[in-house]
Amino acid sequence: MIRFPRRSTRRARGADLPALTSTRAGALFLDERGAATAEYAIATMAAVAFAGLLVVIMRSDEVRGILTDLVRRALTVQ
């Protein structure tokens, strides 16, 4: 069994955090590092949700019948 050292969840006030000045606040709020990664993650999750919805729709008997009729009509020679 691997044991990890416990970290203290309590911090002394101001021990590790620099003072929040207007310059530092501006730099923090204007920093866009990681924004593209977050956008890709959101787009991927939306695509997965849409694919799941399509799977549910395609499994219904009505849609299956419509698609079967469409394929049969496309393959028949007249």
Q: What is the pLDDT of residue 38?
A: 84
Q: What is the pLDDT of residue 75?
A: 93
- Which residues neighbour 64 within 8 Å (Cβ) at sequence distance 6 or greater? 58
Q: What is the pLDDT of residue 69?
A: 93
User: What span, in angstroms and rounded, lies between the C-alpha atoms of 22 and 28?
Assistant: 10
pTM for the whole thing? 0.46
Q: What is the pLDDT of residue 1?
A: 60
Look up tokens 């923090």; give the residue: 28
Contact yes or no for 67/73 (Cβ under 8 A): no
Look up tokens 């501006």; give the residue: 26
The pLDDT tens digits of the residues spanning 6-62 come to 665 555 555 677 788 888 888 878 877 777 888 899 999 999 999 999 999 888 899
